Amino acid sequence: MWPYPEIKNVADIVRYNAKNYSDKPSTIFCDHSLSWSDVHELSSRMANGLSAEGVVATDRVLYFAGNADDYFLTIYASAKIGAAFIPLNWRLSVPEITAIVEDSAPKIALVDLIYKATWEEVQTKLTQKIKTIYIDPGKQADNPFWQWASKFDNSDPHFICEGDSTAWQIYTSGTTGAPKGVELTHAGIMNMRLCEHLEPAYTWGANDRYLFCVPSFHLLGLGLSMQAMYNGACIVIAPRFDPEEVLAVINAHKPTLMGLAPVMIQFLLDHPNSANTDFSGIREILYAGSPISKGLLKRAIEAIPCKFMQFYGATESGGAITLLRPDDHYSDDDNILTSCGKPLPLIEIKILDSEGNALPANSPGEMVILNPAITKGYWNKPEAWSEVYNEGWYKTGDIGYYDDNGYFYLIDRAKDMIVSGGENIYCSEVENCLSLHSAVAAAAIIGIPSEKWGEEVKAFIMLKPGQSTTEAELIAHCKGNLAGYKCPKSVDFVDDFPRTGAGKVSKKDLRAPYWQGQKRAV
Within-domain flag for 219: no
> Where do the H-state alpha helices sit in 8-104?
10-20, 36-52, 69-80, 94-104
**Residue 334 one-letter amino acid:** D
Domain with residue 495: its CATH number is: 3.30.300.30
Residues 6+ apart with CB under 8 A from 439: 463, 464, 467, 468, 469
Within-domain flag for 435: yes
CA 406, 407, 411, 412 dihedral sign is positive
Within-domain flag for 436: yes
* Strand intervals (E) in 364-505: 365-370, 389-390, 393-402, 408-413, 418-420, 423-425, 440-450, 454-463, 490-493
Within-domain flag for 479: yes
Query: What is the reported pTM?
Result: 0.83
Within-domain flag for 456: yes
Within-domain flag for 455: yes
CA 118, 378, 240, 271 dihedral sign is negative
The 8-class DSSP code of residue 359 comes to P
Residues 6+ apart with CB under 8 A from 496: 462
CA 138, 144, 150, 152 dihedral sign is negative
> Where do the H-state alpha helices sit in 186-283?
186-197, 219-230, 243-253, 262-270
Q: Give the β-pairing of 284-287 and 60-64.
A: unpaired
Number of domains, the chain? 1
Residues 6+ apart with CB under 8 A from 150: 45
Q: How far apart are CA 86 and CA 50, in angstroms?
A: 14
What are the respective helix, strand and coil percentages of the chain, to the nearest 5? 35, 25, 40
Domain, as residue range, for 491? 419-514
Within-domain flag for 434: yes
Find out whether 408 and 342 touch, Cβ atoms under 8 Å: yes
Q: How far apart are CA 311 and CA 324, in angstroms?
A: 6
- Supply angle C-alpha 431, 298, 397, rounded to 5: 40
Q: 210: helix, coil or strand? A: strand
Within-domain flag for 502: yes
At 132 the pLDDT is: 98
pLDDT (tens digit, 0 to 9) for every residue of the chain, 522 residues total? 899 999 999 999 999 999 999 999 999 999 899 999 999 999 999 999 999 999 999 999 999 999 999 999 999 999 999 999 999 988 888 888 999 999 999 999 999 999 999 999 999 999 999 999 999 998 877 999 999 999 999 999 999 999 999 999 999 865 445 679 999 999 999 999 999 999 999 999 999 999 999 988 888 889 999 999 999 999 999 999 999 999 999 999 999 999 998 878 988 999 999 999 999 999 999 998 665 677 888 889 889 989 999 999 989 999 999 999 999 988 888 788 888 999 999 999 999 998 999 999 999 999 999 999 999 999 999 999 999 999 999 999 888 999 999 999 987 776 787 878 667 787 888 998 999 999 999 999 999 988 777 789 999 999 999 999 999 999 999 998 887 889 999 999 999 999 875 567 888 889 989 988 665 655
